[in-house]
């Protein structure tokens, strides 16, 4: 390549003049008109940002608005003396109180975030129910001084809605667990509707009416759990399905104990209304008569489903659950599988249900599963082959099925109950599951706890009840 010759100063000046003359002969582009719309948009954006900043600055903050760290495990204390001996920075407390007057001892825990109140009876004094039934209306007033209290679990002896009124001053309270007496109390729902930031509500043994649930609609609840609540009917269920903010709905054993309620409401044919809950992710249905067509109505937004102690569903109907591809947690077993001494027909039906559930499990990517007494070779093969399964609860009648779980790759926690003939040979394949960290055995009487701990080693936490207490020779 030839080098470019270097120009002297005179040549450079001649080149500059020539370029100037050439550029002068070229037509000039017309200037762009001013973009008035762009200037206007910038002004509007600036005004919007300023207004939003002023609104956020004036908006009152709530203690739970910011992301909070996880609540630590609970510590327990019984009676005022033990409660007062706890550290003042306790955040999670299960307190046994003998009189309503002892509630005042809780206000010293200014950082308390979750509280379980249990009632105890003092020897030689009236029972807990009688003591708390006559509690003064302001018995829970000291709890209003706990500015960080997020979750409160009340005992079944608190049957007066008036006792709950002081909770309206708990600015951080977002989770409440309420037990109620047999008779319906409309005032209870007026109090609940006035709680400023309630997001999770558990009602236990509360007799319901449609208008009661309607009072809760403005609360924008995220979780509603009805346990043993009589009185729910089609009109009430429609009110529940008109709560679009619900992410979790639990309907369990709605027979209740109210003699004025003739029969338990059954949701068969009513479940299409659940599609009015666009954010529903977790659904719990326990002790219901269902139809195969009901499973077609389940919203495909579900990530967690519990169908426990159900009746009426056929094995072929269960196959419809395969379309819920987003399910990560599944608890499922029919009521017939819980029979103590099932006849041959019932055993055959349970195996058919187990095989149907196996097909569902094989089509999903589960992380948690509860199969209760359901058991078959196909089901345990499907469970053992789940690549993401980390927690499992089973009650297999045949201990040999346990060996099929040895293929698990991610299982971290396993709970087994009532496996009468369980042996160490059945457990050996599980000992090879490297991910396993916790094993719980309940009433699995053919092995000793000492042997089980020795088999799994120090890396696996073994919890066992009902096992043989002494080491025995394994043949």
Report, as an integer, the average pLDDT of 416-421.
Answer: 88
pLDDT (0 to 100) of residue 203: 92
Report, as an integer, the average pLDDT of 14-36.
Answer: 46
HSE-CB of 184 using CA atoms within 13 angstroms: 16
How confident is the model over 269-296, as pLDDT tens digits?
889 999 989 999 999 999 888 999 999 8
3 state DSSP class of 442: strand
Task: Phi first, then psi: give them for residue 205, nearest 5 degrees.
Answer: 70, 20
**How many of the other CB atoms lie within 10 Å of CB of 454?**
12
Summary mean pLDDT of the chain: 82
Torsion of CA 405, 408, 413, 415, to 10 degrees: -10
Report, as an integer, the average pLDDT of 302-319.
Answer: 93
pLDDT above 70: residue 40:
no
- Residue 228 tokens read as 């043993």
Q: CA 210, CA 65: separation in Å to the nearest integer?
A: 32
Q: CA 139, CA 99: separation in Å to the nearest integer?
A: 10
How confident is the model over 189-205, as pLDDT tens digits?
999 999 999 999 999 98
Q: CA 190, CA 248: separation in Å to the nearest integer?
A: 22
pLDDT (0 to 100) of residue 125: 55
Its pTM stands at 0.80
How confident is the model over 210-229, as pLDDT tens digits?
999 999 988 889 999 999 88
Torsion of CA 312, 318, 320, 323, to 10 degrees: 130
């Amino acid at each position: 390549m030839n080098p470019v010759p270097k120009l002297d100063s005179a040549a450079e000046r001649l080149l500059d003049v020539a370029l100037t003359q050439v550029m002068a002969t070229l037509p000039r582009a017309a200037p762009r008109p001013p973009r008035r719309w762009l200037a206007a948009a910038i002004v509007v954006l600036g005004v919007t940002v300023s207004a939003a900043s002023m609104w956020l600055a004036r908006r009152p903050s709530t203690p739970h608005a910011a992301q909070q760290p996880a609540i630590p495990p609970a510590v327990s204390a019984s009676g005022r003396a033990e409660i007062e001996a706890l550290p003042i920075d306790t955040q999670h407390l299960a307190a046994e109180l003998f009189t309503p007057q002892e509630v005042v001892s809780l206000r010293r825990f200014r950082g308390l975030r979750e509280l379980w109140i249990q009632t105890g009876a003092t020897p030689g004094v009236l029972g807990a129910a009688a003591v708390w039934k006559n509690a003064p209306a302001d018995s829970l007033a000291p709890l209003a001084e706990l500015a960080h209290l997020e979750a409160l679990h009340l005992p079944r002896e608190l049957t007066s809605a008036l006792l709950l009124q002081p909770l309206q001053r708990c600015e951080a309270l977002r989770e409440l667990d309420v037990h109620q007496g047999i008779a319906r109390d409309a005032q209870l729902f007026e109090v609940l509707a006035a709680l400023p930031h309630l997001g999770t509500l558990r009602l236990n043994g509360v007799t319901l009416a449609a208008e009661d649930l309607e009072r809760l609609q403005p609360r924008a609840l995220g979780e509603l759990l009805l346990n043993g609540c009589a009185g729910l009917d089609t009109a009430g269920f429609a009110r529940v399905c008109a709560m679009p903010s619900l992410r979790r709905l639990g309907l369990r054993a709605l027979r209740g104990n109210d003699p004025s309620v003739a029969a338990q409401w059954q949701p068969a044919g009513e479940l299409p209304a659940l599609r009015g809950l666009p954010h529903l992710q977790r659904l719990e249905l326990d002790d219901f008569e269902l139809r195969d067509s009901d499973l077609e109505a389940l919203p495909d937004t579900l990530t967690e489903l519990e169908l426990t102690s159900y009746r009426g569903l056929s094995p072929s109907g269960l196959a419809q659950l395969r379309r819920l591809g987003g399910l990560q947690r599944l608890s499922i077993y029919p009521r017939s599988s819980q029979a103590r001494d099932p006849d041959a027909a019932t055993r055959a039906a349970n195996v058919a249900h187990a095989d149907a559930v196996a097909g569902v499990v094989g089509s999903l990517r589960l992380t948690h599963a509860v199969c209760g007494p359901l058991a078959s070779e196909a089901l345990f093969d499907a469970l053992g082959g789940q690549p993401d399964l980390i927690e499992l609860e089973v009650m297999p009648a045949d201990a040999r099925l346990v060996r099929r779980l040895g293929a698990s790759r991610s299982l971290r926690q396993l709970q087994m109950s009532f496996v009468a003939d369980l042996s160490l040979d059945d457990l050996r394949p599980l000992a090879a599951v490297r991910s396993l960290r916790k094993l719980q055995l309940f009433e699995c009487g053919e092995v000793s706890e000492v042997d089980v701990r020795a088999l799994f080693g120090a890396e696996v936490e073994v919890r066992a009840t009902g096992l043989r207490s002494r080491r025995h020779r394994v043949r």
